[in-house]
Structures are given as structure tokens and as C-alpha cells.
Amino acid sequence: MSPLAIAILTISDSRTPDEDTSGNLLEERLTADGHLLANRELIPDDVYRIRATVSGWIADDTINVVLTTGGTGFTGRDSTPEALLPLFDKTIEGFGELFRQISYDEIGSSTIQSRAIAGLANATLIFAVPGSTNACATAWDRILHNQLDSTFKPCNFAELISRFNER
């Protein structure tokens, strides 16, 4: 497996770094899988702060993947999809669809309240998952673990990273 440099952004108005169980879970999972933690931040749910942080990371050629957790619901402050969608060069529709399909088995029809999304921006993969620790575990264990593993067959995103900027 080829290790990837992954940045984690927790988006929350109520959590502190000490209470960031979702970010902790993602960091534990990615390092256990042999990836490198490239950066990690916790910021309030604000469209422009989210966009600025992720924009900085997608401009950094050393970061392969950005994982965001939080801000994907329907309250007035939930704004992660609105912050990220304008940054995407391509949208990975299947990620949100698959996440909700898997989540249905765990939380039933409440899965329709998830606006999990993913995309590609400047050759950087971006995955936005809900802020619950269980949702982060579902996303990593059932989708990202395999898709970020260059040895997973029949195909994975990790093996495509070097080809994202092809013209």
C-alpha cells in the first residue's frame, strides 16, 4: 500500500479539540492504515472559513486527501456542502449515495438527513461526512479504507491520484 497524506477538518460550533471524538477516530483509522496525518484543524461552521481552510489544503501539492467531519446536516449553521461544492472540479456522486445506503442499515430513514458529499479539486480528494463518530466510522470502515488503499481491487482512488491532472 502507498501511504497518502491526509488532512482532517472538524467543523463544529460546539466541540473543542479535546472533545473531537470524530476527528480522533479518523486520525486513528488513517494512521492505523499506514497513511500520514498531513494536517488537522477544528473550526466553526462558517462557509468562508471552511472554504479557506480546504482551499489552502488543495493548493498544497503534498496533501492527497481532505476529510471533513461535521456541518452536513440541515440546521441553519450546517454549511459544509455549500462551502465545498464550488471548490470541486469533479463531484464523486457515488460517495454520498453509498454512504446513505450503508447508513440506512444502521439508522434507518434518518439517513436522508445526511448531506455527505465528495469531490476532486486540484488533484485532491475531498470527503465530507457527518459529525457523529459513528458516521465517521461507517465512512472510513465501509468506504474510505478500501478506496484509499492502493492494493484494493478491482479499483480504488489511491491508484488514480497520480493521474488526476492528466490532460
pLDDT tens readout for residues 86-145: 999 999 999 999 999 999 999 999 999 999 999 999 999 999 999 999 999 999 999 999
Confidence of residue 2 (pLDDT cuts 50, 70, 90): confident
pLDDT of residue 166: 87
Pick from 56, 65, 58, 126: nearest CA to 96 = 126
* pLDDT average, residue stretch 142-161: 96
**Predicted TM-score (pTM) of this structure:** 0.96
Contacts of 132 (CB under 8 A, 6+ apart): 22
* pLDDT average, residue stretch 136-163: 96
* pLDDT average, residue stretch 33-54: 97
| Residue appearing with cell numbers 446513505 | 100
pLDDT of residue 14: 86
Q: Are 49 and 80 in contact (CB under 8 A)?
A: no
pLDDT of residue 76: 86
* pLDDT average, residue stretch 38-60: 97
Residue 1 pLDDT greater than 80, yes or no: no
Q: Are 114 and 103 in contact (CB under 8 A)?
A: yes
Contacts of 94 (CB under 8 A, 6+ apart): none
Give pLDDT tens digits for 66-89.
999 998 989 888 999 999 999 999
Query: What are the extents of the domains in the chain?
Result: 5-163
Contacts of 112 (CB under 8 A, 6+ apart): 100
pLDDT of residue 124: 98
DSSP 18-76: GG-HHHHHHHHHHHHTT-EEEEEEEE-S-HHHHHHHHHHHHH-TT--EEEEES--SSST
CATH architecture of 5-163: 3-Layer(aba) Sandwich (3.40)
Residue 28 pLDDT greater than 80, yes or no: yes
Confidence of residue 16 (pLDDT cuts 50, 70, 90): confident
